[in-house]
Structure 1
């Protein structure tokens, strides 16, 4: 069963029971992506690592040797 078919079935069942319709598939994708980014930044801070620019700094170390970026 595809996502669209499941959504239509859930909407039909909700309407039959007088409940609010479920959100459409993909309607909260950006919110989920932002929350995931925020969670990863939080975990980085808790672990004592910089929260921003970690990938760029790692690539810089890999490309240019062991030079560290100043914070």
Structure 2
């Protein structure tokens, strides 16, 4: 049974019993994404880690590590 079929069945049952219909599938998806993001930021603060830019920093460390140099030394001035 697909999500849409389940939603229609639940809506029909709610109408027969005089109850509120359930929310349509996908209505609250972005709210869930925001709550997961906020929980991750809160958890980072509680554990004393940076709350912003962690994914970008990790990706940067990974990419610089693959290039095989780590931190580059500056070129000497002429």
TM range (shorter): 0.7 to 0.9
Give the structure with higher Rg (CA): 2
* Counterpart for residue 5 of structure 1: 5
> Matches of residues 28-67 of structure 1 in structure 2 within 5 Å?
28-62=28-62, 63=64, 65=70
User: For the residues of structure 2 that align with 1:21 and 1:40, how far apart are their CA atoms?
Assistant: 32
Ranges in structure 1 where 5+ consecutive residues have no aligned partner: 67-71
Q: How many residues align?
A: 66
* Counterpart for residue 26 of structure 1: 26
**TM-score where L is the length of structure 1:** 0.84
RMSD: 1.4
SS of the residue 1:38 aligns to:
helix
**TM-score where L is the length of structure 2:** 0.77
